Amino acid sequence: MTKTSIYLCLGALAAGLAAAQTAQADPTPMEVRALLHKDFHAQGQATMSRVDQDDLQWLCTVSHNKPSHNRVKQMEAEQHATIVYPADGKYMGDWKKGQKIAESGKGMTWKDKPGAENGGSCYNCHQLSPKEASYGTVGPSLTAMGKKRGDGIEVQKYIYGKIYNSKASNLCSEMPRFGTSHTLTEEQIKDLTAYLLDPASPVNQ
């Protein structure tokens, strides 16, 4: 190498380093994770592994929930593969039990008993029964779901899957993956499906 080209190389390196230093403004997810590992501790059932992101969480974080198209379909398919449908082919349970699950916001926090039955927190984010005034608006209204969509087997399977893992059809949805995360059991998701679709359920009155 000539003297000139060495100086050019060094200059480019210095410029690159300078640019890297001024561009330090945005912490990366890895840096956030490191801070969380430094400043958080396990409590109850909430272990430190909860702050480690999976691929989906990472992608949705860095893209501010608007990931580029070429990754979405593939990752949604991966999410769909996590859905375990009932072996007996039945998707609807008891809507009366489903109502209680929808109303309950308990479970999965460090104050909750590990292994205890968890709620679905549905009313936190959704409107369900038209008679219940205390409902959230983070998610769309689910009132009259059964009336609108009917309770055919295809609709039942769709709703079951949506509760199990909503990110299979909307990758960066704010809705938790209730089945995949082992928050709700198969029986509970069946009861919720019934709460939404059963013509006798308050949701459809």
Start-to-end C-alpha separation, the chain: 82
Cβ closest to another protein, residue 3 vs residue 64 = 64
User: Could you say which of 79, 98, 129, 135 contacts another protein (CB under 8 A)?
Assistant: 135
Does 2 help bind another protein (rule: CB under 8 A)? Answer: no
Q: Which of 142, 180, 145 is nearest to 161 (CA)?
A: 180
Site for another protein in 36-95 (CB under 8 A): 36, 38-43, 46-48, 50-53, 56-57, 60-61, 64
HSE of 60 in the Cβ direction (CA atoms, 13 Å)? Answer: 15
**Binding region for another protein (CB under 8 A) out of 82-90, 121-129, 154-162, 193-201:** 121-129
Does 104 help bind another protein (rule: CB under 8 A)? Answer: no
Residue listed under structure tokens 């929808």 = 102
Pair 159, 117: CB distance under 8 Å: no
**Concatenated DSSP letters of 77-107:** HHHHTT----TTS-----HHHHHHHHH---S
3-class SS of residue 30:
helix
Token pair listed for 177: 């993956």
Does 114 help bind another protein (rule: CB under 8 A)? Answer: no
Cβ closest to another protein, residue 2 vs residue 21 = 21
Does 141 help bind another protein (rule: CB under 8 A)? Answer: no
Does 169 help bind another protein (rule: CB under 8 A)? Answer: no
HSE of 84 in the Cβ direction (CA atoms, 13 Å)? Answer: 10
Cβ closest to another protein, residue 19 vs residue 25 = 25
Amino acid occupying residue 71: R
Q: How far apart are CA 10 and CA 18, in angstroms?
A: 12
**Binding region for another protein (CB under 8 A) out of 78-86, 94-102, 106-114, 155-163:** 106-114
Binding to another protein by CB under 8 A, coded x per residue (else -) over 8-47, reads ----------------xxxxxx-xxx-xx-xxxxxx--xx
Binding interface with another protein (CB under 8 A) = 24-29, 31-33, 35-36, 38-43, 46-48, 50-53, 56-57, 60-61, 64, 108-111, 123-125, 131, 133-138, 167, 174, 176-177, 181-183
